[in-house]
Structure 1
C-alpha cells in the first residue's frame, strides 16, 4: 500500500468544482447551439442561415479554439493559469453577449470565432490547474469527474436551450453563458491558487498561424464541396490542396524549431499518439452525428427544441454516470480494453442511425443515444489521462492543449466532412422533386432539409407535396453520413487495440511530478518491455 503523503492542494476538491463550472460554460454553449440550429435557420424566427452557414457557426468557434489552445496552454504556463482562465472567461462572456444580438449569419459566425478565442484560454487552464493541484494518485479520478461534467453540460444545455427557445428569441441561448461566467469568475478569484511553469516555453506565432490557416482552408474546401456538389471545381480542390500543403509544412516546421506549438516528438510515445488518435477519431464521428441528429429529431420527427433536448438525456446520463467510473475500470482492466470497448460501443450506436426512419419507435433512438454516451464516457477520461500522464506537472498546459486541440479538430472535420456528405446526398435525392419550382426557389430548396421546408411553407398548400420527399431524401443522406461516422469509430477502435498499452495508467499514476518528460517516456518504454 502506498503510504506517501498526499501532495495535492488542501482545497483541491473545491477547486475541481470551480474548474467544472468553468468547463461547463464552454461545453454548454455548443450543446445549446445544437437544439437552436433549426430556429437559426428559420428566416422569420431566426437569421435564415443555410446549412453551410450553420456548419461555419459551429466550426468558426471550433477552429479558432483548436488553433489557439497551444498558445494559451503556454501562456498559462508562463503568466499564470489562473490569470489566463479569468481572461478567457471574460472574453467568452462578452462574445456570448455579441452572439445573442447578431443580426446576420455572418455576424454570428464572427462572434462565434471570438467565443472560440475565449474558450481556447479556458479549456487548457482548467485541466492544467487540476493536474497541478491533485496528487498523481488522485488525478485520474479528478479528470474522470472533469470529463463527466461534459455529460452534465450535455444534459443541461439542450433542455435549457429548448426552454429558452420556446419562451424567448433565439439569442437567449447565448445569454445563458453570462451568469455562468460571472459565477465562475467569483469562484476563481476566491478559491483557485495561481500556478505557472518555472521554465515555460515560447509562443510559436508562425506555427499557430500556419495551423489556423491550414485548418480553415481544409474545412472551407470540404464545406464548399458539400454545399455546391462540384468537387472538381478549383474553388473546392484548391483550398483542399492548400490546406493539406500548409498543414504538412506546419508539421515539418514544428519538428525543427526549439519551442514548437505542437511538440511532434511527443507522438513517439505510443500511448500518447494512440490516445490522441482515438480521441480525434471519436469526436470526428460523434460531432458529425450530433449535427444531423438535430434535424432528424426536429424536422423529420416534428419535435420542439425542448422535446429534442429531453430526448438527448440518455446520452447525458450515460456520460455523467460512466465517465467518473472509467478510471476505476482502467485500473482494473487496463486502458486498452476499456477504450477499445468504448470505441466499439460508439461505432455500434452510430451504425444504428443507419436504421432510423420517420416512424422508428423513440425508444430505439433513446437506446442509441445511451450506448453512444456509455462508449464515449469510457474513451475520453482514460485517453485524457494517458495524454496528461506523459508530461510532468509543469508542462500540464501543453498536454491539455494538445489533447483538446485534437478533440476540437476532429469535431470540426467531422461536422465538415459528414455535413458535406449529408448535403451532397440530400441534394441528389431531392433535386428530381424540385423540377416544377422557379430557379431561385429550386436552388434554395436543394440546400438542406430546413431550406426545403421553408420553401414548402412559402408555397402554402401546394408545398405540402415536398414534405415527404424531403424527409425521405434527408433520411437517405443521414444514413450515408451515419455509415461514414461508424466506419471512423471502428478505425478508432483499431488504433486503440493496435497501439495503446494495457495497464500504463495504474503504473504511471505514481511517477513523481518532478521527473522530466524523457525520463517518463523511458519508464513507459520499459514497462512495455516487461
Structure 2
C-alpha cells in the first residue's frame, strides 16, 4: 500500500513534465499567450523542480520524509488548482512554479521512503516498480493530455491532480512511517542557495539554447552564472562542517558509474521521447491523441516488465553493471530501428518493434541505475541520494532534448530547399507555409524527416556508448569492492628460520566486512556504508 501511494505521487509529478505541450494551441487562444509566455509556462515547472531537488532531499533528511511528502502534496495540489483556473499567463506561470516546489519535495521523498520501508530482495523490486511508474509518467503525458484535451478544456490537465493529492495525503498520513537522519545536522542554507542558483542557471541555458541560440546573451549569462554558482557550491561543500551533499560520495566508483549511467539513460529517454512526438505528428501526420496512443507500447512494455519483476531478477542475476549496459544497448537498438524503419514509406508498423525494444531497455536500465545510486549512499542520507538521482534525471533529460533538438534543427536547415528561404528553417510549420508549391512542400517534409532520423541515430550511438561507459565503471567498482572484502591469502612459508619475536598487537590484519559484496556489483547494506 505504501508503494502504491508513493508511485501515484511520483506519477503525477512526472506527467506534468510533458502534459502541457499538447495544450499550447488552447492556451494561446484562451489566455492570449505569446510565444515567450508559452515557453515560461513549460519551463517554470522544470526550472524550479531541477533547482530545488538537492535542497528538497536535504530538508527531507533533516526534518522528516513523511512531513516532506505531505508538504509536497499540499503545494502540488494548491499549484494545480491555481493553474486550472488561471485567467492570465502570469498566473499560470506562477502556479507552475509553485507546482515545481511541491514536485521537488515529492520526487526526492518518494525514493527516500522506499529505501526506508523496503530491504533485502524486496528493495530492487520496489525500485523497479517506482522506475516503471517514473517512465510511465514521461511516456504517458501525451496520451493522458490527448484524452483530456479531446473531451475537456485545458484546465482539466491540472484538475486531474487534485484527487490524487487528496487520496495520497490521507494515505501518507495513515500508512507511511516517519523517518529522518538520526544525527539531526543543521541545514546547509548557503549550500542550498548556491545549488539552486547553479542548477536553475545551467538548466535554463540548456532549455533556452536551441530556441534563442547558444551564443545569445541570455543563454551565455545564465550558463556562466549557473556554472559559477555550482563551482562555488562544490568549494563550499568541501569545507563546511555539515555539507548538504557529501563530496566524499564522488570518491566511490560505483556511485560515479551510476551517475554516468543515470545521465545517459535520461539523455536517451528524454531525447528519444522528444523526437518520437515530432516523428509521429510531423513526419507520419498523426493528431496528438493518435500520436499518444501509438507511443503507448513503449510505456506498456516498461510497466509490464517491472510489474512481473523482470528488472529485479535480471539485476540480481547479472549485476548492476551488466544490467545497465544491456538495457542501454536495447534502448540504442530500438532508437536505431525507429530511425531506420519509421520513415513515411514504412509507416507506424516499422517503428513498433523499435518502441518495444526501447521500452525493454528503459525497464532494465532505469531501476538498476537508481538502485546503484541509492545503494552507494548511507540510508540516513537517502533524501540527498534521491535528490542526486532526480537532478541527474532532469539534467540528463534537458541535455538530451537540447542536443538532439539542435542536431535536428541543423540537419533540417541544411536540407531545406533554397526556394523556401533560410528564414523558414526555424520549424517545419514555418517552412511549409513558405513553400509555394506541392513539390516544395514534399521536399520540406523529406528534409524534416531526414533531420529526425539523423538525430535518432546520433542519440542511439550516444546511448550505446554511454551504456558501455557506465557498465565499465560499475564493473570496475564491483571488482575493487570484491577484492577489498576478500579474506587474506595465506603467507608462503618463510625461507629463513623464524625469529623468536612474536607479532605485536599492532600488526595489521585484514578487516573484512560482516557481509561480503557479491561479485555482480549488487551491494549489501553493509558494503554500501563502507564504500560510501
**CA distance 1:347–1:54, change in 2 (3 Å):** farther
What is the alpha-carbon distance in structure 1 between the residues aligned to residue 139 and residue 460 of structure 2? 23
Match of 2:103? 119
**CA distance 1:217–1:483, change in 2 (3 Å):** farther
Equivalent of 1:68, from 52, 57, 62? 52
What is the alpha-carbon distance in structure 1 between the residues aligned to residue 127 and residue 133 of structure 2? 10
Match of 2:151? 167
Shift in Å at residue 199 of structure 1?
1.3
TM-score, length basis structure 2: 0.82
What is the alpha-carbon distance in structure 2 between the residues aligned to residue 430 and residue 46 of structure 1? 34
Match of 2:248? 265
Equivalent of 1:329, from 309, 314, 335? 314
Render the CA deviation track for 1:247-276: whole Å, top value 9, x for unaligned.
333323322223333322101111111111
TM-score, length basis structure 1: 0.82
Match of 1:511? 525
Secondary structure, counterpart of 1:379 in structure 2: helix
Match of 1:6? none
What is the alpha-carbon distance in structure 2 between the residues aligned to residue 205 and residue 299 of structure 1? 46
Equivalent of 1:150, from 134, 153, 156? 134
Match of 2:472? 498
Match of 2:4? 17
What is the alpha-carbon distance in structure 1 between the residues aligned to residue 138 and residue 211 of structure 2? 28
**CA distance 1:395–1:225, change in 2 (3 Å):** closer
**CA distance 1:275–1:45, change in 2 (3 Å):** same
Match of 2:491? none
Note if contact 1:19-1:126 (Cα within 8 Å) is conserved in structure 2.
Answer: yes
**CA distance 1:233–1:139, change in 2 (3 Å):** closer
Shift in Å at residue 226 of structure 1?
2.5
Equivalent of 1:303, from 286, 306, 322? 286
**CA distance 1:485–1:58, change in 2 (3 Å):** farther
Render the CA deviation track for 1:369-421: whole Å, top value 9, x for unaligned.
21111111111111111111123322211211111111111112222333333
Structure 2 residue ranges without an equivalent (≥5) = 479-516
Render the CA deviation track for 1:72-109: whole Å, top value 9, x for unaligned.
22222222211110111111122223333456666544
- Of stretches 379-388 and 164-173 in structure 1, the one that deviates more from structure 2 is 164-173
Match of 1:349? 334
Match of 2:325? 340
Equivalent of 1:468, from 442, 465, 477? 442
Note if contact 1:390-1:520 (Cα within 8 Å) is conserved in structure 2.
Answer: no
Secondary structure, counterpart of 1:378 in structure 2: helix
- Of stretches 363-372 and 81-90 in structure 1, the one that deviates more from structure 2 is 363-372
Note if contact 1:426-1:477 (Cα within 8 Å) is conserved in structure 2.
Answer: yes
Is 1:520 equivalent to 2:530 in the alignment? yes
Shift in Å at residue 142 of structure 1?
1.4
Shift in Å at residue 185 of structure 1?
1.3
Render the CA deviation track for 1:452-497: whole Å, top value 9, x for unaligned.
56x57xx9xx687764344233223323432332233123212223
Secondary structure, counterpart of 2:525 in structure 1: coil
Shift in Å at residue 155 of structure 1?
6.4
What is the alpha-carbon distance in structure 1 between the residues aligned to residue 138 and residue 202 of structure 2? 28
Note if contact 1:137-1:509 (Cα within 8 Å) is conserved in structure 2.
Answer: no
Which structure exhibits the higher relative contact order, with contacts defined as CA atoms closer than 8 Å and separated by 6 or more residues? 1
Shift in Å at residue 43 of structure 1?
4.3
Note if contact 1:55-1:419 (Cα within 8 Å) is conserved in structure 2.
Answer: no
Match of 1:361? 347
Note if contact 1:297-1:303 (Cα within 8 Å) is conserved in structure 2.
Answer: yes
Alignment of 1:12-51 (within 5 A): 14-33=1-20, 36=22, 39=25, 43-44=28-29, 50=35
Note if contact 2:334-2:354 (Cα within 8 Å) is conserved in structure 1.
Answer: yes
Note if contact 1:223-1:420 (Cα within 8 Å) is conserved in structure 2.
Answer: no
Match of 2:302? 319
**CA distance 1:418–1:510, change in 2 (3 Å):** closer
What is the alpha-carbon distance in structure 2 between the residues aligned to residue 109 and residue 474 of structure 1? 31
Note if contact 2:76-2:100 (Cα within 8 Å) is conserved in structure 1.
Answer: yes
- Of stretches 149-158 and 109-118 in structure 1, the one that deviates more from structure 2 is 149-158
What is the alpha-carbon distance in structure 2 between the residues aligned to residue 351 and residue 498 of structure 1? 23
Equivalent of 1:215, from 183, 199, 220? 199
Match of 2:187? 203
Shift in Å at residue 19 of structure 1?
0.9
Alignment of 1:428-447 (within 5 A): 428-430=414-416, 432-435=418-421, 445-447=424-426
**CA distance 1:45–1:386, change in 2 (3 Å):** same
- How many residues get paired? 489
Shift in Å at residue 325 of structure 1?
1.7
Note if contact 2:15-2:141 (Cα within 8 Å) is conserved in structure 1.
Answer: yes
Match of 1:283? 266
What is the alpha-carbon distance in structure 2 between the residues aligned to residue 139 and residue 232 of structure 1? 46
Match of 2:461? 487
Equivalent of 1:99, from 77, 83, 93? 83
Shift in Å at residue 301 of structure 1?
2.0
Render the CA deviation track for 1:193-244: whole Å, top value 9, x for unaligned.
2222221343333333333333333344445443245x45545444444433
Note if contact 2:417-2:440 (Cα within 8 Å) is conserved in structure 1.
Answer: no
Is 1:77 equivalent to 2:61 in the alignment? yes
Secondary structure, counterpart of 1:136 in structure 2: coil
What is the alpha-carbon distance in structure 2 between the residues aligned to residue 212 and residue 466 of structure 1? 47
**CA distance 1:84–1:362, change in 2 (3 Å):** same
Equivalent of 1:477, from 448, 451, 473? 451
Render the CA deviation track for 1:274-331: whole Å, top value 9, x for unaligned.
1111011111222122123212212332212221111111111221122332121111
**RMSD between superposed Cα atoms in Å:** 3.1
Shift in Å at residue 56 of structure 1?
5.4
What is the alpha-carbon distance in structure 2 between the residues aligned to residue 46 and residue 433 of structure 1? 36
Shift in Å at residue 342 of structure 1?
0.7
